[in-house]
Structure 1
Amino acid sequence: MSTREVSLPVASQPSADAFVALAQRAESLGYDRAWLPETWGRDVVTMLATIAARTDEIGIGPSIMPVYSRSPALIAQTAATLQEVSQGRFRLGLGPSGPLVIENWHGVPFVRPLRYTRETIEIVTRILSGEEVTYNGELFDLSGFRLRCDSPEPRPRIDAAGMAPKSVELAGRFADGWHALMLTPDGFRDRLDDLQRGAELGGRDPDAVRTTLSLTCCALDDGERARKLVRQHIVFYVGSMGTFYRDSLARQGYEETAHEIYDRWQNGDREGAMNAMSDDLLDQLAVAGTPSAARDRIETFAALDGVDALSVSFPRAGKRDDIDATLDTLAPE
C-alpha cells in the first residue's frame, strides 16, 4: 500500500505563512510528507525549517533541491541541520533541474548532469555518515574535513529525481529513492525497469529503493474546470520548460503529441497546444475531475506495482480554494 504525500504549490502562495498553513492542513488530513520544490521563488531551506518548527509529525523534504545551486558539502550541512530541527522528519530530494533554470537563473553551466548528481549524492552520503571525507571525483575533490556537529540520527535518506532511463538508473544505483514525474502507468513501468537495473548494478536490493510518483491533481465540483487547470499545467511544462518533458512524453509513446504541443507553444499558439492533449492522455498523466472521479483515478495509480508513495501536486494556476478542495478529497483514508 502506497503512502499519500503532498507537493506544496510553489507558484500560487502569497506568503511564507501560506506555505506553513498548507503543510499544517496536510498534516491534519494525514498526509505522510510535505515536499517543496525549489525554482526561482522562496528558498526551500528557510521554508522547510519554518514548516518543521510549526508542525509536529509530517515529514518534510525538497523535491527537488538542484545540485548546481549549492556545493555538495553545503547540501550535506543543510540536510543534517534540517534533520535536527525536524527531529528526524527530513528526507532529501536531489536532481539537476534543467538548463533554463540553472543557466538563466543561477548563471551556472548545465554540464554533465548525471555525473554532477552522482558525485553530489556520493559526497552527501559520506558527510552525513560522520566520517572524515576524502573524495576524488571527476568534478569534486574533498579532503580533511568532517561535520563539525554530530552526524544526524537517523541519517537522512536521499532521493534522486529522474525521467530519462539513465537518470532513473542512477537513482537506483546510488540513491535511497527515486522521484518520478509526469509518467503514464506504462511509462512508470518502463522506468521501473531502469531503476531495478541500477540497483542491481550497485549491488543493492531493488525493493529497498523507495519510489515516489508525483501526480498533478485537481478535484473540484466543477470537474471541467479541474481538467482545464491540469491540462494547462501539463501543456505549459511540455511546451515551455526546455525539452525534458517533451522528450519524456515522446519516450512514452506520444511522440507526435509531444512535439505538436511543444511546437505550437513555441510558436505562440497556446490554444492549439492545449487542444493537442487528448482527454485520454490527460488521464494517463494526472488526476483531474470531480471529487468522485479523482478519487477513483488516484487509486489506479496507487495500485501500480512499485509505487511506494503518491505525491499529490497541484496545477500552477490553481487558487487556494482549489488546492484545499483537492487536498481534502484526496487525503489518505
Structure 2
Amino acid sequence: MSEADYHVHLPVAAQDSVQDFVDMAVRAEELGYEAVWLPETWGRDAVTIMTSIAHATDDVLIGSSIMNVYSRSPALLAQTAATLDEVSDGRFRLGIGPSGPAVIEGWHGIDFGNPLRRTREYVDIVKKVLRGDELDYEGEYFNLSGFRLRCEAPDPAPRVDVAAMGPKAVELAGRFGDGWHAILFTPDAMADRIEDFERGTELGDNDRGEQDVTLSLTCCALEDGERARHLTAQHAAFYVGAMGTYYRDSLARQGYEDEAHDVAAKWMNGDRDAAIDVFSDDMLDDFTAAGTPERAREELAKFAEVDGVDNVSIGFPRAASPAEIDATLEAFAPE
C-alpha cells in the first residue's frame, strides 16, 4: 500500500444516537486510524458529537469535514474551533467549506451567493481569531473590528482545511488553507486537482509539506461483495441525483457528463433503481472502493497511491448498518 495515512469519515446519514458516532470513533481509535472526521448536514449538530468523541477518546485526531461557511458566523466558528481544541487536548482540526445551494438555501434559508469569496473570508477571519489577533477586517461579506478572542488562544492553533471540488476552489484551498478535503474524485482527477492545489500553495507562499490533502472515499467491504457494491452505488447516486448540481458537475468534469446527467434525471423522476444502475462496475471503481474485503482493498490502493494524497478517509454508504460499518472499518484498518 502507499504511504497515505488512513482516516475515518464518520457516516453522513443519521444514526440511532449520538453514542453510535462515539462508538465508531472509539472503534476507529482502537483499530489504529489516525483521525476521525464528522460531516454536518441536516442531522445532529457536529459540535456536540465531536465534544462527546473528545471525551471518549485519547489519541485520535478529531475534525469537522465539513462545517459550512453560512450557518455560523466566522467568529463563532473560530470560537467553536478554539473550544473543541481545548476539550480534545489539542486534537481538533477544522474543516470548512461552502457545502452546496441545496443545503444552504433549502435548509438554512441563506442565499448561496459567491461561495469562493465567502470561503476565503471565513478562512482569513478564523485564522486571525485562532491566532489571538484583534479583528480588523474589511471584506465583501464581513466588516469586523474591536474584538479578539476573550480566552487564551490555542497554541498551536488548530489547522483550517478547506473542502473544494472545482479547480479554482481547490486552488483557493492551497493558497489560503492548511489543507484540502476532496470527495467523489477518480484517481486521475485527483492528480489533476492536486496540481491546482499545489499552484495555490505556491501563490500563497505556503509550505506544501505542512499542508494535507485528504480524500474522503466511499468504501464498503463485506463478505457479500454484491451487497457492498449495491450500497455504494446507491450512496453515489444519491449524491449526484439529490444534492444539487455540485456533484453532478464534478462527475461531468471527470469524463462522465452523460452518466451524471442520466443519474440526476432518473433520480429526480423518482426512478431510483435506474439511477443506481447507471453506475457500471468500471464507473463505481473509479469513485469508490467496494466489494469483498480483498477487492475493496485493491480498489482503495488506487486512490491511496495517487502522488500528493496524504490521507484517505474511509467513508460509508448512507444505508450501511452499524455491523456493515464495523466490518468495513476492520477490513481497511491500518497495518
Give the TM-score of the pair, scaled to structure 1: 0.98
Q: For residue 209 of structure 1, what is the amino acid of its counterpart? A: Q
Q: 2:296 aligns with which of 281, 294, 302?
A: 294
1:274–1:10 CA distance, 2 compared to 1 (3 A): closer
The answer for the alignment partner of 1:234 in structure 2 is 236
Offset, 1:12 = 4.5
List per-residue Cα deviations over 1:67-107 (Å, max 9, x = no partner). Answer: 10100000000000000110010000000111111111111
The answer for the alignment partner of 2:51 in structure 1 is 49
Q: 1:117 aligns with which of 89, 109, 119?
A: 119
The answer for the alignment partner of 2:261 in structure 1 is 259
Is 1:95 the counterpart of 2:66? The answer is no
The answer for the alignment partner of 1:271 in structure 2 is 273
SS of the aligned residue for 1:91 comes to strand
Give the 5 Å matches for 1:127-138.
127-138=129-140
The answer for the alignment partner of 1:78 in structure 2 is 80
Give the 5 Å matches for 1:134-173.
134-173=136-175
Percent sequence identity over matched residues? 61
Offset, 1:129 = 0.5
Q: For residue 66 of structure 1, what is the amino acid of its counterpart? A: N
Offset, 1:111 = 0.9
Q: 1:323 aligns with which of 316, 322, 325?
A: 325
Is 1:215 the counterpart of 2:217? The answer is yes
Distance in 1 (alpha carbons) for counterparts of 2:145 and 2:244 = 37
Q: For residue 256 of structure 2, what is the amino acid of its counterpart? A: Y
Indicate conservation of the 8 Å contact 1:119/1:140, yes or no. yes
The answer for the alignment partner of 1:38 in structure 2 is 40
Q: 2:197 aligns with which of 195, 208, 214?
A: 195
Offset, 1:209 = 2.3
Q: For residue 177 of structure 2, what is the amino acid of its counterpart? A: A
Aligned length: 333
Deviates more, 1:300-309 or 1:200-209: 200-209
SS of the aligned residue for 2:255 comes to helix
Unaligned segments of structure 2, at least 5 residues = none
Distance in 1 (alpha carbons) for counterparts of 2:24 and 2:277 = 32
Indicate conservation of the 8 Å contact 2:14/2:44, yes or no. no
Q: For residue 143 of structure 1, what is the amino acid of its counterpart? A: S
Unaligned segments of structure 1, at least 5 residues = none
Is 1:180 the counterpart of 2:182? The answer is yes
Offset, 1:26 = 0.4
Q: For residue 194 of structure 1, what is the amino acid of its counterpart? A: D
SS of the aligned residue for 2:20 comes to helix
Distance in 2 (alpha carbons) for counterparts of 1:283 and 1:80 = 39
Distance in 2 (alpha carbons) for counterparts of 1:135 and 1:263 = 44
Q: Which runs of 4+ in 1 moved over 4 A?
A: none
List per-residue Cα deviations over 1:23-73 (Å, max 9, x = no partner). Answer: 000000001111110001110011101110111111101100001010000
Offset, 1:153 = 1.5
Indicate conservation of the 8 Å contact 1:12/1:318, yes or no. no
Indicate conservation of the 8 Å contact 2:34/2:60, yes or no. yes
Indicate conservation of the 8 Å contact 1:212/1:309, yes or no. yes
Indicate conservation of the 8 Å contact 2:120/2:176, yes or no. yes
List per-residue Cα deviations over 1:220-246 (Å, max 9, x = no partner). Answer: 000000000000000111111101000
